[in-house]
Structure 1
Amino acid sequence: MAITTEPAQAMHDASLMQLMWLASPALPIGGFSYSECLEAAVDTALVATESGACEWLLDQLHLSLARADLSVVAQAVAAWRHDDAAGIARLNAWVLHTRESSELRQQTEQMGRSLLEWLRNHTTAQAGQINQLAALQPTYPVAFALAASATRAPVRDCLLAYAFGWAENMVQAAIKSVPLGQSAGQRILSALTAEIPAAIDHALALDDTTRQAFSPMLAILSSQHEVQYSRLFRS
């Protein structure tokens, strides 16, 4: 007997799989090559254990990602879906202006360009939107928002994909730099996953007047990482 899939279910399935694709560490945008200052924190003995790495990443999730990038992605998804070119440009400029070191800015630019190239060879985003993104100096959150907006998934689901992709990359950075075993990495990922919904709630409650990017310890560590003698990661 043939199995039939209702159109609504088929659309949901396609949307979910697209978000899983975007969250995958295998997406060829280079996320695996960045530690977002975790490597510098290890080098300066601020992080030395599984519990220390877990606490560090939980703080980064709530104090950095939720208050900045997740909020940008949420607003940018809406802007892409409503053809709000001015809003998209404003959000992209905000990301560029609030990266507090050259490494962190290079990361968002490189990942943004790589995702733009991925979109050129993908069938979800419209050609006009891709050209609009290319006309900017695309940042990763805004490029991700375009890719996610094309899935037609709810904004919250888009943020879940973004946050989980970040968490997986950061856990792998912790495993390599602390170093830790795979079981320790899974425990850290479990802790991050449990906190991601609350971080998303925070991000969704922010607007242009309350969104912020103020993580002085990360900025200092990033500057130190630029001249660190031995490095595995690009940030």
Structure 2
Amino acid sequence: MSASTPWLQLMWLASPALPVGGFSYSEGLEAAVEAGLVTNEAQASAWLSDHLHLALGRADAAVLAQAVPAWQAGDLRRITVLNDWVRHTRESAELRLQTEQMGRSLLEWLKNRSSDERLAALAALSPAPTYPVAFALAAAQVGASAEQALLSFAFGWAENMVQAAIKAVPLGQSAGQRILERLTHDIPAMVAAALSLDDASRQAFTPRLAILSARHETQYSRLFRS
């Protein structure tokens, strides 16, 4: 394979067209819109930037940063610990079901692409593989570094969330591109921070987001999955 192949594979993994269902979730954003907390472009941009740094960067991205080398080393005990941490720290049923559903869907997609023996270990994670752990294996399969995997993971999240903002606020396409530009500028700093986190400093504590996600589970009118 050429030197560009891992990047092409990572672009594929970041694509909203990947059949894992990431586009169908708003991760609390739709509830924030309903509550009047996000009503325009500036508020949506600030909300997603905070989510990137305070939620994704300190939890899922930090897990991904550690799961890539664990898959590369064949450390299945470490993989199990990381997968359990993701599940146990989800602050709402909605967020837990999202990571499990997306993890299962990515597993099925990976099964159709290769016969990697590590897929059996991913499938054996109980009750389900979580999305960052499954994504880490996909990245490890193409020889990506943890940093490369994080850049792909974060950009894929940003694209899905910007599309959620466009639909839920609602916003125009140009506003969405301006928000995506801001997130693109924010991602390298988030990645660097996530790579520096160890088990003691990794965290999942976003109470406002957790409350909004829980409210979204019973929100009467909604566009996004719960």
TM range (shorter): over 0.9
Amino acid at match of 1:130: L
Report what 2:16 is aligned to: 25
Per-residue Cα deviation, 1:184-227 (whole angstroms, up to 9, x for no partner): 00000000000000001110110111000000011000111011
Is the 2:68–2:145 contact (alpha carbons within 8 Å) kept by the matching residues of 1? no
5+ residue gaps, structure 1:
1-9
- 1:75 corresponds to which residue? 66
- Name segments (4+ residues, structure 1) moved above 6 Å: none
1:12 maps to 3
Aligned twin of 1:168:
159
Q: Which amino acid aligns with 1:189?
A: L
Give the distance between the partners of 2:50 and 2:184, measured in 1 at CA: 13
- Provide the residue aligned with 1:201 in structure 2: 192
Shift of 1:127: 2.8
Structure 2 residue identity aligned to 1:212: Q
TM-score, with length taken from structure 2: 0.98
Amino acid paired to 1:40 = A
- Partner of 1:158 in structure 2? 149
Deviation, structure 1 residue 151: 1.1
Q: Residue 123 of structure 2 aligns with which residue?
A: 134
* Cα separation, 2, equivalents of 1:113 and 1:100: 20
Query: 2:97 maps to what in 1?
Result: 106
Q: Which residue of 2 aligns with 1:3?
A: none
Q: Which amino acid aligns with 1:74?
A: A
Aligned counterpart in structure 2 of residue 43 of structure 1, from 34, 49, 52: 34
CA distance in 1, matches of 2:25, 2:186: 22
Shift of 1:120: 0.3
1:163-185 alpha-carbon deviations (Å, 9 max, x no partner): 00000000000000000000000
Deviation string 1:139-158 (CA, Å, 9 cap, x unpaired) is 00000000011111221111
Partner of 1:63: 54
Instruction: Give 1:14 shift.
Output: 1.2
Aligned pair partner of 2:215 in 197, 212, 224: 224
Offset at residue 11 of structure 1 (A): 3.0
Give 1 or 2 for the bigger CA radius of gyration.
Answer: 1
Matched residue SS, 1:227: coil
Q: Could you tell me which runs of 5 or more consecutive residues in structure 2 were left unpaired when the two chains were aligned.
A: none
